[in-house]
Amino acid sequence: MAHRSAKWKQGSLMKVSSEVCPVCGGTGWKFAGEERRVSRCDCRLKQKGEALLAAARIPKRYEHCELSNFSFEGPHSHLTRARMDVCKFVEEYPLENTGLLLIGSIGVGKTHLAVGIIKELILSKGIACLFYDYRELLKQIQNSYNDSVKATELEVLRPVFETEVLVLDELGAVKPTEWVWDTVSLILNTRYNDNRTTIITTNYPDDPAKEASGTSEFSRAQRAVRGETLGDRIGERMRSRLHEMCRIIKMEGADFRQTIKSASFR
Ligand SMILES: Nc1ncnc2c1ncn2[C@@H]1O[C@H](COP(=O)(O)OP(=O)(O)OP(=O)(O)O)[C@@H](O)[C@H]1O
Ligand SMILES: [Mg+2]
Ligand SMILES: [Zn+2]
């Protein structure tokens, strides 16, 4: 019995010693520089980063996305400018906290960059960030009206309102209805009024709602031919609000998924 408890003691001591940070001795504070000023130990920043990353809701599919593995040279040189703008944003944040609107065609790397940004903000600056797919968010809000679902609308929306940086991926991807417009206005206006940063991606061109917004057969056909715009999908007022909240980053080029596929066949 005595033997067993001694063994247990040894085991637990070993466990503790492997967890205690050698720099700060577990206090979270370290002395640095000539004057031996006290500052936060890196182990705490690392712990905080890991917790923030786990809370950011980055989908599995995009977990690999980082600024450091975003190609922007050679065949991808059309993305150099976008990447540069994004890195500048990360560097200057939070002194400069205007959001970003990443606009571009399918598969050009918008979500990759958006995820890369928040990962960097989380890990190097300890900033709370949240990723939401626009469709998923609207679906969760709509679900909250269902009596059998526990979460209330406010419970879904609170983190979306309050997170310091929000990524809203694929803005406009839900067919617009009055409710969709009201909900997107509520989200964007709340974040705008609280001076919070929002990073948005969209496939829709940043053009006004088409004049042909009537419901006649002719105007509908016209809209289909010319393709829908961001104005059509979220309403002109919200598009104009976005221009106040965000800097626009245009990304054009081939679908990265196709490029990779065709390269592997060569
Ligand atoms: N420049 C790049 N360097 C490295 N990987 C990239 C690059 N661009 C895209 N990818 C990869 O290609 C895939 C598609 O990119 P992503 O999902 O970011 O495109 P998207 O513009 O958001 O597309 P969609 O319009 O369909 O949402 C991802 O796996 C992403 O990691
Ligand atoms: Mg995307
Ligand atoms: Zn430490």
Is residue 172 in contact with ligand 1, taking CB distance under 6 Å?
no
Q: What is the per-residue pLDDT for 32? A: 80
Q: How many beta carbons lie within 10 A of that of residue 62, not counting itself?
A: 16
Report pTM: 0.85
Could you tell me where the beta strands, DSSP code E, fall in 6-45? 29-32, 37-40
∠ Cα 83 84 87 (to 5°): 85
Distance from the alpha carbon of residue 85 to the mean position of ligand 2, in angstroms: 18
Which residue do the tokens 């950011």 mark? 56
The atom number, within ligand 1, closest to the CA of 76 reads: 1
Contact 188, 161 (CB under 8 A): no
Per-residue pLDDT reduced to its tens digit, 206-257: 999 886 555 566 566 665 556 899 999 999 999 999 999 999 999 988 899 8
HEC string for 85-125: HHHHHHHHCCCCCCEEEEEECCCCCHHHHHHHHHHHHHHHH
Of the given ranges (21-25, 59-63, 235-239, 255-259), which has the lowest mean pLDDT?
255-259
Q: What is the per-residue pLDDT for 254? A: 86
Distance from the alpha carbon of residue 107 to the mean position of ligand 1, in angstroms: 5
Q: How many beta carbons lie within 10 A of that of residue 127, not counting itself?
A: 19
- The pLDDT-based confidence of 34 (bands split at 50, 70, 90) is confident
Is residue 154 in contact with ligand 1, taking CB distance under 6 Å?
no
All domains in the chain, ordered by first residue: 43-265 (3.40.50.300)
Ion ligand 2: residues, CB within 5 A, are 110-111
Q: What length does the chain have?
A: 266
Q: Ligand 1 pocket check: which of 61, 106, 111 to mutate, most ligand atoms within 8 Å of Cβ?
A: 111
Distance from the alpha carbon of residue 37 to the mean position of ligand 2, in angstroms: 45
- The pLDDT-based confidence of 264 (bands split at 50, 70, 90) is low
- The pLDDT-based confidence of 7 (bands split at 50, 70, 90) is very low
Q: What is the per-residue pLDDT for 227? A: 87
Angle, in degrees to the nearest 10, between helices 236-245 and 178-193: 20
- The pLDDT-based confidence of 33 (bands split at 50, 70, 90) is confident
Contact 80, 228 (CB under 8 A): no
